[in-house]
Amino acid sequence: MHRLSPLVVSCLLVTAAAIPALDYARGPGDETLAARRDIHRGILDQTTRAPDRYRWLAAAIVELPTRLLSTAMPYEVAFDRASTVFYLAAFTALLWSLFAYLRLWFTDEQALIGALIVACTIRITLRQHDYAPYSYLEASLFALGLLAIARRWLALFYVLVTLAAFNRETGIFLVALYVATNSWSRQTVAHAAALSLIWGTIVAGTRIVGGEAERYWSLERVLNTNLSQPGLSAFNITLFLGAFWWLALRGWHAAPEFVRRSARVAPR
């Protein structure tokens, strides 16, 4: 099977990631950038609102280069620059990990096309949030998780579940993917239990350390917000895959069993 040059793939994926990364990092106004700095510091000193204060991974990654740069410039400037590099790296990692997973089932050219199509849809998710760097780590963790499950790299998968738990509570869906893509056996149950315990311990631990906090996005607010803009939701869902919604349905029965099993977790 023909393999694309890693250098060529890297150049293409970095280029595809650069525009949304720079747009997200530099596009919002001063008010949003200031809010991001405040939330970042609030995560580190455990004063910001929930659930941001329990999502440590992205803040920890950005803080080290921020502190190094702050020896030569104001902390706020250092944070903005470190965050820009973080977004570029996160979006590139997102596309690369997806490419690495897709090439299990398709040719390199087809996998690259799939990754670049995803790059075109990233802009839909960029709503210039006050703070959401964990969302862009999340996609990479899930793609790498699927790759690790398919390759039977259990040690790596345990590491990914651990990182995902520190990143966001949705890391539990990695455990769900492991269960969905494996045959039912004592070994599957044992690993699922161990992974769930790791996830639960970390999620509970971050909440114990962080303590109780005000929660802006309550379940009621999330539901009301989603129901108040059905047109926007329909627009985003349509554009997210476009014609590929139809292609996905058409190709469902021809897809590998592993892919079909993992797809059942997505709606949840």
Spell out the domain ranges in the chain: 6-263
- 219's tokens: 């379940």
Determine the average pLDDT of the residues in 202-222.
85
Determine the average pLDDT of the residues in 104-122.
91
- Kindly give, in sequence order, each residue whose CB lies less than 8 Å from that of residue 143, ignoring residues fewer than 6 positions away: 94, 97, 98, 100, 101
Cα–Cα distance for residue pair 233/229, rounded to 1 Å = 6
Amino acid (one-letter) located at 103:
R
Higher pLDDT pick, 254 / 234: 254
Residue 18 has pLDDT above 90, yes or no: yes
Predicted local confidence at residue 120, as pLDDT = 86
Phi and psi at 72, nearest 5°, equal -120, -5
Predicted local confidence at residue 199, as pLDDT = 98
Return the SS3 of 160.
helix
Predicted local confidence at residue 47, as pLDDT = 92
Predicted local confidence at residue 57, as pLDDT = 97
Determine the average pLDDT of the residues in 40-57.
93
Predicted local confidence at residue 268, as pLDDT = 53
The residues that bridge with 215 in the sheet, in sequence order, are 50
From the CB of residue 128, how many other CB atoms can be counted at a distance below 10 Å? 13
- Kindly give, in sequence order, each residue whose CB lies less than 8 Å from that of residue 184, ignoring residues fewer than 6 positions away: none
Q: How far is CA 234 from CA 21, 216, 239, 266, in A?
A: 25, 25, 9, 18
Q: Which band of pLDDT confidence, cut at 50, 70 and 90, is reported for residue 128? A: low
Predicted local confidence at residue 218, as pLDDT = 74
pLDDT > 90: percent of the chain: 65
Determine the average pLDDT of the residues in 10-16.
95
Predicted local confidence at residue 204, as pLDDT = 96
* Alpha-carbon radius of gyration of the chain: 19
Q: Which band of pLDDT confidence, cut at 50, 70 and 90, is reported for residue 7? A: very high
pLDDT > 70: percent of the chain: 97
From the CB of residue 199, how many other CB atoms can be counted at a distance below 10 Å? 21
Predicted local confidence at residue 247, as pLDDT = 81
- Kindly give, in sequence order, each residue whose CB lies less than 8 Å from that of residue 181, ignoring residues fewer than 6 positions away: 146, 149, 150, 258, 261, 262
Under DSSP, the state recorded for 182 is: S
- Kindly give, in sequence order, each residue whose CB lies less than 8 Å from that of residue 109, ignoring residues fewer than 6 positions away: 2, 4
- 56's tokens: 């440590």
Predicted local confidence at residue 24, as pLDDT = 87
DSSP readout, 1-26?
-----HHHHHHHHHHHHHHHHHHHHH
Predicted local confidence at residue 127, as pLDDT = 66
What's the whole-model pTM score? 0.89
Residue 145 has pLDDT above 90, yes or no: yes
Residue 126 has pLDDT above 80, yes or no: no
